[in-house]
Amino acid sequence: MFPASIAYAGNSAKGRTYTFQGDRWFIYKATAIKDDVFKIEKWGRFLADDDVPFEFYSDFLTFKTKDKTSDFTWLNEDLTAFSITINDPDNPNFTGATTALFKENNDFTADLTAFEY
């Protein structure tokens, strides 16, 4: 694992999109607003049917990667994956704080129906 403070030669997270799907109902979409600032949105669907598209549900979290209050960690030096602990009391599949593994997914679209995880 690579700490958030490591400088990566030529690699930038800004503008990249990452996703984490903890279950069939919700996807968490993280967008790097800056190299060290991320905004996470929550996307959901009413039915867990693969033919039902995900829709924007709410803004979920904004954080700084170098902020010591989070346990944000890059998982590789290419900046294609990271982990962070999140807590979503509205998601019944989360039992308290959960380590979320976000993977780069720049093909995320609002009409997404199926997701590999």
| Per-domain residue ranges of the chain | 14-104
Threshold 0.85, pTM exceeds: no
Are 98 and 85 within 8 A, CB to CB? yes
Q: Which two tokens stand for residue 66?
A: 């170098």
Q: Checking phi first, is residue 10 left (phi over 0); if not, alpha (psi -120 to 50) or beta?
A: left
- Per-residue model confidence (pLDDT) at position 113: 47
pLDDT tens across the length of the chain (117 residues): 555 544 455 578 899 999 998 788 889 999 999 989 999 999 988 776 777 788 899 999 999 998 888 899 999 989 999 999 999 988 888 888 889 999 998 777 655 544 444
